[in-house]
Amino acid sequence: EDVHLLDNRAAMDVFVGELLKLHRGQGQEILWRDRAQCPTEEQYRSMVLDKTGGLFRLAVGLMESLVVNPDTTESNGGGEGGGKPAKDYTALLDKLALYFQIRDDYINLLSDAYMKSKSFCEDLTEGKFSFPIIHAVRTVPQDTRLLNILKQRTEDVRIKLHAVEFMRSVGSFDYTRATLRRLGEEVQEEITALGGHPQLMALFNELDSQITEPDDVRGPAEKESSSISSSILTQVTAVPDMPVPLTENADRADSL
């Protein structure tokens, strides 16, 4: 409603376009979750660019639609504003979206702060295919324990810790950190190429420094997971390997 009241065609085009992408991305994620269907890394990245990237591009796109560029007479139409952007921020915004989503996936599974709260490994409870989980499932497809844990929607901390240790053992957290390092370098290169921004760079470096080494976060998880009884291990491997019934949300996702 607020965008409509701006009477700016460019702003409305940005709003509608990015909201459609955002909902498609969200629907895809729901579909994978409700079907217990592990996506490829490429599919995950595409989903993130729609879902998370949509929010980044929406914010910047709305601002751009309200700014007149004095270097061009082109207009996006509508009311006041609507000049052609002087710079293209799409590459930076997409890399930031990937970085922040993968970083969030990583921290959700390994953060000490999360470990002390009810939100510890919340992605496992939700049955969500996050970046480290996708890597683990696809690295050892013959081992279905992680898929079975996702199907359980468990809140049992012992089972969650077992899942974390399994992902660590197959190198999923190391792979995630390496991916974040590459994305971080690409983000900084994009910021520099666009003319630099000391405040944004400082904020990004601060967030990047919070990605701890595996050894820094493994302690509590390893102690707990090593004490998991054989009955718990049986519990996470005994779930029938069958499709999870589709929810109404998954049916909607098919139509997006």
Summarised one tens digit per residue, pLDDT across range 137-157 is: 999 999 999 999 999 999 999
What's the whole-number mean pLDDT along residues 210-224?
54
Torsion over CA: 136, 141, 143, 148 (sign): positive
Contact, 36 vs 151, CB < 8 A? yes
| Mean pLDDT computed over every residue of the chain | 81
Phi, psi angles (nearest 5°) of residue 75: -135, 145
Cα separation, 87 vs 90, in Å, equals 9
Query: How close are the terminal C-alpha atoms of the chain, in Å?
Result: 23
The pLDDT > 70 percentage for the chain reads 71
Q: With the CA atoms of 42, 45, 51 and 55 taken in that order, what torsion angle do they form, in degrees rounded to the nearest 10?
A: -150
pLDDT of residue 67: 78
Bridge partners, residue 83, by sequence = 75
Q: Which residues of 73-89 are buried (b: 16+ CB within 10 A; e: fewer)?
A: eeebebeebbbebeeeb
Q: How confident is the model at residue 68 (pLDDT cuts 50, 70, 90)?
A: low
In CATH, the architecture of 2-69+87-186+204-213 is: Orthogonal Bundle (1.10)
Could you tell me which residue, 98 or 216, shows the higher pLDDT? 98
pLDDT of residue 180: 96
**Does residue 166 register a pLDDT over 90?**
yes
Enter the pTM of the model.
Answer: 0.77
